[in-house]
Amino acid sequence: MVAQGVRTVQDVEVEGRRVLVRVDFNVPLNAEGEVADDSRLRASLPTIQHLRSRGARVVLVSHLGRPKGKVDPRLSMRPVAARLTTLLGRSVPLAPGCVEPEVRHMVGELAPGGVLMLENVRFYPGEEANDPAFARDLASVVDLFVNDAFGVAHRAHASTVGVTQHLPSVAGLLLVRELEALGALLDPAERPFVVVLGGAKVSDKLGVIANLGRRADRLLLGGGLANTFLAACGLDLGDSLVESDMVGEARKVLDAVKDGRCCPVELPRDVVVAGDSEHSRIVPPSGVPRGWRVLDIGPRTVKEYADFIARARTVFWNGPMGVFEREEYAAGTRGVANAVADNEGLTVIGGGDTLAAVNRFGVQGRVTWASTGGGAALEFLEGRELPGLAALRRGAGT
């Protein structure tokens, strides 16, 4: 199997080999320090089980949080190893580090089919610096590298790029599935192709708007992102979230629509607003009272967006339509989530808040693909070369 020119774990012999697998187990922890959402662990189970069933000795490496090169016991991989033990139904011991002599001993003692979790790789300053010496040490105790962490494929770190200079390197099954699903949006996608973008910032998604705006049939905007576009139309949105320094960029996108360099952009026709001490009300974007804030798209907009989505053959959605965590401002995001779930074409969603929304509204099993990528997915859809993928393409031969 080949995806985006990258060899995969299905293309190589792994029996008896010590295999370093970069996974993205950067998961939320609850107040008790336990894994609160194991979706990312479950997403990499196919790769882990593939290796185990073929007699590989599996060494998992991931980061958790942002310890900035220092040991932080609160960000230990211990709860992740414990949860993975439950999911696999077999012990997954936690190594005391990543490159120390004791870790080398533990790797050497692994039996075929065994799994070992290394400690948080970002406890080492050499990880984010892509330090050649650290990458060499990390690679020195194994025989093969598998990158199954699409969520950090946009990071040029030691565990995503550096190790490929020292090891035969291939893609894991999750990474392959991400490339296939996201690549289908660029290949070109089956039309009509509708892109739904929300969230807080235009700056996070400007590249996606530029690239997909040339490929899609319609862009549907919501959330704080839409506020900035509405401001670019000259509207006063009271105290709403607006990226003032991006209004000019939003105006350029709207100008591109006029001269055919971008597909049509739909903005909210009505919005849900609230003040500090007032109940919410529904108003047109031109009617936001002074001191009030836009917190969701209104029912007319929900219906229009749902109609566009229903007619689409391909849908990509990233970013909520409002403050969906609060029930009084959840209707817009819920309406989009249900519309995407009802669509029988290719439906791809991405972004942490979007995944949280579909989980909250119970439609997570009704989309074609829910990307674990976040920022990596956005950069891929911008058309950028991701360092982790580029490294696999030029990695050592198997």
Give the tokens for residue 188.
Answer: 């070109």
Supply the pLDDT for residue 277: 74
User: What's the CA gap between 376 and 126, in Å, rounded?
Assistant: 21
User: What's the CA gap between 368 and 371, in Å, rounded?
Assistant: 10
Tell me whether strands 169-171 and 144-147 are parallel, antiparallel or unpaired: parallel
Residues 6+ apart with CB under 8 A from 247: 228, 231, 232
10-residue averages of pLDDT along the chain (398 residues): 74 97 95 92 97 98 97 97 98 98 97 98 98 98 97 96 97 96 93 96 93 97 97 96 96 96 98 88 96 97 98 97 96 98 96 90 93 91 94 71
Supply the pLDDT for residue 233: 97
Give the tokens for residue 274.
Answer: 């609230």
Domains and CATH numbers, the chain: 2-176 (3.40.50.1260), 184-382 (3.40.50.1260)
Cα 141 to Cα 19, 20, 57, 163, 391, distances in angstroms: 9, 9, 11, 11, 20
Q: Which residues are catalytic?
A: 40, 201, 352, 375
